[in-house]
Homo-oligomer: A and B are copies of this chain.
């Protein structure tokens, strides 16, 4: 290529990459020769020179090598949509990577950086990406020493405490929790907030944990929770399908919602506006999160000066519907509350 153009290799490289101080005529000449020869520098070489591929990754690492079609869940679907829009708007391609694949997908794409959703503690994907010097922005604050470039998250403890108080105010005496077995901070912080609340109000914890990427396991856990001898009279479910699973289980045990059982679940799904009865949901605002993580990642990739804080907390919203409001409270006695609450 350099020989054909009668210039040095450096000149070819500079001309094709818009770098260096070259006369316009030289640049034009090199480009014409390159076009004539059908010359395309290899992807890897090009990326090494420019330092940028224009590709950013997005993946859920929570469940390790378990197959997980995460876009089937409303939270991830909305988050990924917002992330895609934010990437496209800044001229980046978004690569949505599977947790597990026969192919070595990570090696076949030159990512400038990656968004990791709900990393587990000591997440090996995050550690490897950081080792390679690539920016990683996590959706979900990282546990312990996980070294991410930036993170965006909700205040999960405050959200759970707010829901438990809301249920207690509606007359709940024993609130149960459907939670997960994974070690991401969403699951961890939500569960510890629940346990702390129980301790504070003097209620024995009543919870079931299951692998949240498995929808069947969720239905079984909901059933198990309502079959317990110390059956709760209110349940908060941490995951999207918990509302419908709990409704189905309540029906099996002849429990009326909200009269016998109050329900809230964390979900972005609009189906809960039309279930019988409609179910109160906590929204984590995945669109705002998806936009924020991609903005932070691209800022880090481009080394741009930015006013955006690298740790962002997005407010949650409790959408109160019939399932968490007692029509005629059967009791006005609230569970004992700690002094700062009363």
Contact = CB atoms under 8 A, between A and B. Distances in A.
Interface in A26-61: 40, 42-44, 46-47, 50, 52-55
A49 to B, nearest CB: 11
5 contacts: A54-B103, A69-B88, A93-B96, A93-B98, A94-B96
Contacts of A102: 54, 91
Given A42-B44, A53-B103, A81-B80, A98 B92 contact: yes
Interface residues of A, number: 44
User: How many copies are assembled?
Assistant: 2
B93 A101 contact: yes
Interface of A: 40, 42-44, 46-47, 50, 52-55, 67-72, 77, 80-81, 84-85, 87-89, 91-98, 100-105, 107-110, 270
Given A55-B95, A80-B81, A94-B95, A88 B107 contact: no
A96 B84 CA distance: 7
Contacts of A47: 108
> Taking chain A's interface residues, is the majority helix, strand, or loop, or is none over half, making it mixed?
mixed
A44 B46 contact: no
Contact of A96 (B54, B96, B97): B96
A251 to B, nearest CB: 27
Contact of A108 (B69, B81, B109): B109
Contacts of A43: 44, 104, 107-110
A102 B77 CA distance: 27
A98 B91 CA distance: 6
A2 to B, nearest CB: 20
A105 B85 contact: no
A207 to B, nearest CB: 30
Task: Point out which of A40, A42, A98, A108 has the most chain B C-beta atoms below 10 A from its C-beta.
Answer: A108
Nearest to A98: B88
Contact of A105 (B53, B80, B105): B53
